[in-house]
Amino acid sequence: MTFELTILGSGSALPTSRRYPTAQAVNVLERFFLIDCGEGTQLQLRKSKIRLAKLNNIFISHVHGDHVFGLFGLLSTFNLLGRKTELKIFGPQALKEILYFYIQNFTEELQYKIVFNPVDGRTKNLIFEDKVSEVYSFPLKHRVPTFGYLIREKEKLPNIRKEAIEKYNLGVKDILSIKEGNPFHFNNKKIDPESLIIPSSKPRSYAYCSDTAYYERIIPWIKGVDLLYHEATFQISEKKIARQTLHSTASQAATIAKKAGVKKLLLGHFSNRYAELDSLLKEAQSIFPESYIVEDLDVYSVPENK
Amino acid sequence: MTFELTILGSGSALPTSRRYPTAQAVNVLERFFLIDCGEGTQLQLRKSKIRLAKLNNIFISHVHGDHVFGLFGLLSTFNLLGRKTELKIFGPQALKEILYFYIQNFTEELQYKIVFNPVDGRTKNLIFEDKVSEVYSFPLKHRVPTFGYLIREKEKLPNIRKEAIEKYNLGVKDILSIKEGNPFHFNNKKIDPESLIIPSSKPRSYAYCSDTAYYERIIPWIKGVDLLYHEATFQISEKKIARQTLHSTASQAATIAKKAGVKKLLLGHFSNRYAELDSLLKEAQSIFPESYIVEDLDVYSVPENK
């Protein structure tokens, strides 16, 4: 039961020879979600061995080049590979024109449907769901309309204890009814539900926050996630530049992680001015010990919650 | 006196994990020309250690994604690096709208000037020159307006023999006049120019032909170049697909090289259907022995002609 994040690019606006611009893939039980699509994303996807045919939903945080310049190439590659499956793209309204321009200028014949879903709103919104997963958008604080995304497993129904099935001779209807939390009677006696079920594991969740200034409004929206990616473009000594450009320092990212009570914090989107990131990591860990620096092609698996 | 080609990307429309989409850099005596700009070009430039500040002229063959999707990222990076120097971009008329769209949608404030020079015409045209180099465009045969480029050193003036300077007590004016090929008289006697000069080396030249069907019209335009890059998307067994898609086979590329009497042929832009390229190389070498398969980040130096 995979719940896995692959870092495709962790650089900021100026890519380096080690860090591609921003892109990530999230695997929720073999559904793949792409978040942002900086230049070279399709090349990184090839290296990561993620099958392009499994990507049906793309979430774009904002229309700055380092988060979208890989879209045109990826969309063309889908076409050349003979894609027929509809592709959903979520992102701020400004993305619509970009996609329209692409289709007008770069597709001889587009063989699959691109459905654009504008993301908007001043709070957390459910924007996607299927049988097993949900995706929420929430506003971030940047120079253009920008959204973070929360991806989580759906609440799972509990399992029925084997011995209960035998003891009460439960049929399919009974089982479904009990799973859904309805009371169960046997010989006119109400049976304690705890004796019938094994509670399901807590749904796993991942939140993506890039690009953004320090923004406390997001705390309730990302409360308690298993994994949080928060941009850390600057170290604390550059907090003035961070404020001016509406980016965050590593300390600010760690403060958000701490206040939101997340389990693990991943830092990325580093300014290319830092040749090494030790001090950036240290300042984050002094506030939130479970802080990590991501590298391109890193994979973070979230184990099932007990 | 460098004359050097760097392969930045040698793949075709579908990049692979080994081959980026098309891009090349040509260094003519430390002037750098970029030819085509597929996705990831700026990342490859970083790996190749070519200084971005040295790139002042970009030549685009045609407006297909695998030859231009790296432009937006490169132009943004120039801006972020504080570029002030004007950038000239040459390419088919359709590129103008692409550049305009970029400037409208992706630049908060463009700090340098982009000058677009449309390339057109049914024959070979001089489109750029500076003190030491010339660039010519010529039409290729593809599904959209497409141009090849010929980059060459300028004809150099001969050097004056040291012993002649002493013997005839030559001044600056005399030297320039003799270099330019004017007759020289000493004591009313016409001196044999051969005794005065050391002829300069023959200018080096490089021709780029991608994407194109087999197209014999280009032969006189690229006659005798030191280095020819010709696309070889397919091997001869796929010549029907080559004809349909207006691409070339390796045999066709080699035939052009042979008929044009070039010194060395570089093959690239391979279809991703070929896991290995041995048979493609063999078919080219059977027609034109000096055929080579390029790899990304290969560097080809052209020595001075004697």
E strand segments, chain B = 3-9, 23-28, 31-37, 55-59, 87-91, 114-118, 125-129, 133-139, 147-153, 159-160, 184-186, 189-191, 197-198, 205-209, 227-231, 264-268, 291-293, 299-301
Intra-chain end-to-end CA distance of chain A, in Å = 13
Which chain B residues touch A72 with a CB distance below 8 Å?
A: 39, 65, 69
Q: Which residues are registered as beta bridge partners of B185?
A: B190
The nearest alpha carbon in chain A to B101 belongs to: A101
Structure tokens at B70: 């790296």
Does B141 score more than 80 pLDDT? yes
Q: How confident is the model at residue A1 (pLDDT cuts 50, 70, 90)?
A: confident
Note the pLDDT tens digit of each residue in A27-76: 999 999 999 999 999 999 999 989 999 999 999 999 999 999 999 999 99
Supply the DSSP string of B171-210, one letter for each residue.
Answer: -HHHHHHHHTT--EEETTEEEPGGGTEEPPPPPPEEEEE-
Cut 0.90: pTM above it: yes
Q: How confident is the model at residue A156 (pLDDT cuts 50, 70, 90)?
A: confident
CA A146 to chain B, closest CA, distance in angstroms equals 15
The whole-number average pLDDT for the span B287-292 is 98
Does B41 score more than 80 pLDDT? yes
The nearest alpha carbon in chain B to A101 belongs to: B101
Percent of chain B with pLDDT over 90: 92
Specify the range with the lowest mean pLDDT, choosing from A203-207, B12-16, B220-224, B232-236.
Answer: B12-16
Q: Are strands B23-28 and A227-231 parallel, antiparallel or unpaired?
A: unpaired
| pLDDT attached to residue A305 | 85
Q: How confident is the model at residue A15 (pLDDT cuts 50, 70, 90)?
A: confident
The answer to whether B39 touches B70, Cβ cutoff 8 Å, is: yes
Average pLDDT of every residue of chain A: 96
| pLDDT attached to residue B193 | 85
Q: Which residues are registered as beta bridge partners of B149?
A: B137, B208
The answer to whether A195 touches A164, Cβ cutoff 8 Å, is: yes
The whole-number average pLDDT for the span B211-223 is 98
Measured in degrees and rounded to the nearest 5, phi and psi for residue A260 equal: -90, -5
| pLDDT attached to residue A194 | 84
Structure tokens at A84: 């027929």
* Contact across the interface for B21 and A70, Cβ inside 8 Å: no
Q: Touching check for B13 and chain A: CB below 8 Å?
A: yes
| pLDDT attached to residue B232 | 98
Note the pLDDT tens digit of each residue in A114-131: 999 999 999 999 999 999
The Cα–Cα gap between A277 and A19 comes to 13
* Contact across the interface for A65 and B73, Cβ inside 8 Å: yes
| pLDDT attached to residue A161 | 93
Q: Touching check for B17 and chain A: CB below 8 Å?
A: yes
Among B301, B144, B117, B122, residue whose Cα is nearest residue B221? B122
Q: Touching check for B92 and chain A: CB below 8 Å?
A: no
The Cα–Cα gap between A60 and A44 comes to 17
Which ipTM value was assigned to this complex? 0.92
The answer to whether A268 touches A21, Cβ cutoff 8 Å, is: no
Residues of A annotated as catalytic are 66
The answer to whether B76 touches B47, Cβ cutoff 8 Å, is: no
Percent of chain A with pLDDT over 70: 100
Give the number of other CB atoms < 10 A from CB of residue A208.
Answer: 28
* Contact across the interface for A101 and B106, Cβ inside 8 Å: no
CA B145 to chain A, closest CA, distance in angstroms equals 14
Task: Output the CA–CA distances (angstroms, integers) from residue A28 to A137, A150, A152, B144, in the order listed.
Answer: 17, 12, 8, 42
The answer to whether B56 touches B88, Cβ cutoff 8 Å, is: yes
Which chain B residues touch A233 with a CB distance below 8 Å?
A: none
The Cα–Cα gap between A158 and A111 comes to 42
> What domains does chain B contain, in order, with CATH numbers?
3-155+205-301 (3.60.15.10), 159-197 (no CATH)
CA B14 to chain A, closest CA, distance in angstroms equals 6
The Cα–Cα gap between B25 and B8 comes to 7
E strand segments, A187-263 = 189-191, 197-198, 205-209, 227-231
